[in-house]
Amino acid sequence: MKDYILLIDKPAYMTSQDCLTILKGKLKVKKIGHTGTLDPIATGLMIVLVNEATKLSNFILNADKTYFATMQLFIRTDSDDISGNVLETRTPVEISQESLKRVFNFYDNSEYEQVVPLYSAVKKDGLKLYQYAFKNKPVELPKRTVAIRRLRLISFKENLIQFQVTCSKGTYIRSLIKDIAQDLKTIATMTALRRVEQGSFRIQDAILLDNIVDEKSINKHKIPIVKALKDSLKIVTITNKNIITRIKNGQTIDLPDLEIKPEILLVNDSRQPLAIYANSKGTTYISKKGFNIDESDKR
């Protein structure tokens, strides 16, 4: 199988791009990508897309993500995590369980305007925010609406708060920690972060980066494109050769017998992906993403 998804358990203190560089060398593949950057100190689920599967990035990127995080109270760093330079420390004060519960209940199952952290790749006026930090240039940090689907307190001991959070695309856990601390009338920084879910993908199915030697070592871990999309798109099998030709050429098609869906995944009778099509009007569908799949590769 040449085109597939691979779930990696990213190690700490390595960038997502570093992981891709290592994988590309080990797997000897032409194209490789991922569906959401993890902070360097973070560990956990990283969805890697290989060859034609790189076209799935936007379809998986929008899925909710679940993390386990640890925050340390009474300390503030420039990067909002423990790898950064310490800007401020405060004498510890008592924080009641009632206060903690009130703040967690406020964010649980809510939407709010979150400030993007300075050390991030979000662009402002043509520059990534971290470039402003490196150049020591002032910049107004952008805000965006994020959704906290679920926020659950796990433990609170010796100035460390551990919690689990499920959130929407674009949510920064470092910013959430900063906001929680502010509502507790103190400061905090992130000390650990582990992604365990993204959409229907789970960390239990991931492989450690160190366990990958070459392509043979991941054969049991390859996820076909169709299987990866089965929970997010309706799969429609096309057997008519004329329609298949139109699909391969990226042309508009008409599917009168199909229940109308915003987007569909079209496959051939061998369950190989042909393209992702979007509904245009009525029973008419237009090409959104086409797949250049080797039809002899039926594994």
Question: H or E segment at 163?
Answer: strand 160-167
Closest CA to 20 of 59, 54, 52, 60: 54
CA distance linking residue 274 with residue 280, whole number of Å: 18
Strands 188-198 and 43-50: parallel
Question: H or E segment at 46?
Answer: strand 43-50
Q: Which residue type occupies 92?
A: P
Based on C-alpha coordinates, what's the Rg of the chain?
Answer: 22
Candidate list 3, 9, 18, 39, residue with the active-site label: 39
Is the Cα dihedral 208, 210, 211, 213 positive or negative? positive
Closest CA to 175 of 114, 247, 256: 114
User: Is 205 labeled as catalytic in the residue annotation?
Assistant: no
Question: H or E segment at 100?
Answer: helix 97-107
Closest CA to 83 of 3, 1, 14, 142: 14
- Alpha helices by DSSP H, listed for 108-237, are 129-134, 173-183, 225-229
- Using DSSP, state whether 128 is helix, strand or coil: strand
Within 10 A of 138 (CB to CB), how many other CB atoms are there? 5
92 is written with which tokens? 């510890």
Closest CA to 172 of 256, 79, 95, 238: 79
Helices 173-183 and 97-107 pack at an angle, to 10 degrees, of: 130
Catalytic sites, residue numbers: 39
